[in-house]
Structure 1
Amino acid sequence: MPVILGIESSCDETSAAVCADGVMLSNVIANQTIHEAYGGVVPELASRVHQQNIIPAVNQAILNAKVNKNDIDAIAFTRGPGLLGSLLVGVSFAKSFALALGKPLIEVNHMQAHVLAHFIDEPKPQFPFLCLTVSGGHTQIVLVKDYFDMEVIGQTNDDAAGEALDKTSKVLGLPYPGGPLIDKYARQGNRNAYQFPEPQIPGFDFSFSGLKTAIMYFIRDNVAINPNFTQEHIADICASVEYRVVTILLNKLKKAAIAYGIKDIALAGGVSANTGLRQGIQELAAQQGWNAFIPRFEYCTDNAAMIAIAGYHKYLQGDFVGQDVAPLARMPF
């Protein structure tokens, strides 16, 4: 019964989790509020706060799991992709802790871990399945043939879907992080109030830069006419923007699923916490007679549970790395 400690520090969440034989025993996430004053993540500050949080987070994860540190069989960590300074804190701690305990190290690709978050709880998708992975920095459709046999069949050519939502929140003057607030306002608005363009990109790829520009010009032009436009119509704006982002994502996912003849579709990444997207993929699956899989909210945003479950499956394959491993800001999928 292998016990795996997972460590995640790719951006601004410091997280540690423990799983035993694939069963999650704990998942501790320390968020960083310091970035709110700057309207986005400041890399240097993020790495400094990781240094403060990582030991308490790991200690709490071990305590919550009710295991002894000597019971740990391997330490899994996010090697990349992510902010280099943030990754360096997690990688350095993992290497030191593994060396002190005499335990092996397991490197994990952050984006693969988002996909494997579907194997933490029941029900689990059946191979092969398609996973729509959506975050602030990535938008991908992944063909998942096995735990570590994955192929990106569609991805953004420019900006990620999360960036379109972040840009909208900034233009609307919403505090950071704006994603949850857009979600909140969208629930109160009319998604058909305003029409935003859907990019016509061939294949399964995405583009969100044009949508970002269209949103910015739309708000600029209407504020020029009515300075209170955003305050008076914020719910409808958020609902309309969210609806367009969701339709762009799901139209491509539907196209890919039909092309590959796949009936198990999944959602992962930080933006998968969005209510409209979660409802949309469930409605799509119901319409097509497919099966939809969405992780619990705590496994959607960056977390160490997904690192631990990825580490568990790598442990079963004997896939370890040495003490010479270094973080990678850009890590091939």
Structure 2
Amino acid sequence: MRVLGIETSCDETGVAVYDGADGLLAHQLHSQVDSHAIYGGVVPEIASRDHIRKLAPLVEAALAEADCDGSAIDGVAYTAGPGLVGALLVGASLGRSLAWAWGVPALGVHHMEGHLLAPRLEPDPPDFPFLALLVSGGHSMLVAVEGLGRYRTLGQSIDDAAGEAFDKTAKLLGLPYPGGPALAELAAGGRPGRFDFPRPLTRKPGLDFSFSGLKTAVAYALRDAPDEPGLAADIARDFEQAMVDTLALKCRRALRQTGLKRLVVAGGVGANRRLRAALAELAEGEGVSLHFPRPAFCTDNGAMIAYAGYCRLAAGESVGPEISVRARWRLDELKPPGDALGCSAAG
């Protein structure tokens, strides 16, 4: 089965083609970073309009890259939520229309399910079950993934997500949008240990996250520390370390509580090099395997939607002619398909 996947949940327009026998055939991505940078964050109306301009050409480019046309597509998957409603409707409208025109089934995919399954596109894919750390601009979650559609949320952020805390802290430091990569670059030149920032909720039992206080600690440090060369880099370095320590500790706690032997990391923050190094050390110490998607698949992309859609479409799922999206959609509302026969791991 060959599936066209469309991702338009926020500020990336992604289109990909996934084949059950041959793996990922095409991957096209347009980022709107430059359009939103002058505003310091995503502007929903600008995002929606840019998706309208870019999506159809990207579909054409993906089909050309896959060396096929609509007649070779067996199903269409698109992100149906969670995300910005206007942006989601662009992808859902075109995806459902293409499926109707081509006479193939269509399916709305949960954005987070796409992220959870993205590491299964790699050459060494994780088998079920596994523990997933999902860290992005809008989500920080620890999820026990027992199979397709069988997700158990163990902990999540009660306020700012990890990526959101990165962006807000970067803004405090006067860094450009998007803040996460800019802060990590600045932190590389900082001196460790100058600031003792908190590791939130690590002294209490449980697996939830809270990063708003960490961001506030940075604001106080900027207010109280003498303004001298290297101050911003030192703050960035210790903020990043506090974030990494917190995420790693929660992963260790979750691995020990669940007994799972595979750790998957997904979402945009999963591209952070210091986090990757810390989790690699953790995995070695705990005797578990560690799996990341390639950096291009950490952020939003069409490949993860094409693969997640393939898994469910191949198992017989589809939607009717209606076009429906959801700004909010809890991961634990998902159910496994009747028969997940199509969800093989292939790169």
Q: Give the match for residue 269 of structure 1.
A: 267
AA of the residue aligned to 1:217:
Y
Q: Give the match for residue 93 of structure 2.
A: 92
Tell me if the contact between 2:190 and 2:230 (Cα under 8 Å) persists in the aligned partners: no
| Whole-Å separation in 2 of the counterparts to 1:278 and 1:133 | 13
**What secondary structure does 1:38 align onto?**
coil
Q: Give the match for residue 251 of structure 1.
A: 249
Note the 1:294-313 alignment, pairs <5 A. 294-313=292-311
Offset, 1:4 = 0.4
* Cα deviation code 1:181-216 (max 9, x no counterpart): 111122222332321011224311111111111111
* Cα deviation code 1:112-164 (max 9, x no counterpart): 11010011112111221100000011000010000221111110111101111
AA of the residue aligned to 1:135:
S
Note the 1:67-106 alignment, pairs <5 A. 67-106=68-107
| Whole-Å separation in 1 of the counterparts to 2:321 and 2:197 | 50
Most deviating of 289-298 and 197-206: 197-206
Offset, 1:260 = 0.8
Structure 1 stretches of 4+ with a deviation exceeding 6 A read: none
Most deviating of 296-305 and 16-25: 16-25
| Whole-Å separation in 2 of the counterparts to 1:287 and 1:189 | 27
| Whole-Å separation in 2 of the counterparts to 1:85 and 1:244 | 35
Offset, 1:17 = 0.2
AA of the residue aligned to 2:285:
Q
% same residue: 46
- How high is the TM-score relative to the length of structure 2? 0.92
- How high is the TM-score relative to the length of structure 1? 0.95
**What secondary structure does 1:82 align onto?**
coil
| Whole-Å separation in 2 of the counterparts to 1:232 and 1:252 | 31
Note the 1:199-238 alignment, pairs <5 A. 199-200=200-201, 201-222=204-225, 225-226=226-227, 229=228, 232-238=230-236
AA of the residue aligned to 2:49:
R
| Whole-Å separation in 2 of the counterparts to 1:153 and 1:102 | 40
Offset, 1:282 = 0.8
Structure 1: gaps (5+ residues):
none
| Whole-Å separation in 2 of the counterparts to 1:52 and 1:316 | 31
Q: Give the match for residue 197 of structure 2.
A: 196
Structure 1 vs Structure 2 CA RMSD: 1.2
Q: Give the match for residue 291 of structure 1.
A: 289
Q: Give the match for residue 336 of structure 2.
A: none
Matched residue pairs, number?
A: 327
Q: Give the match for residue 176 of structure 2.
A: 175
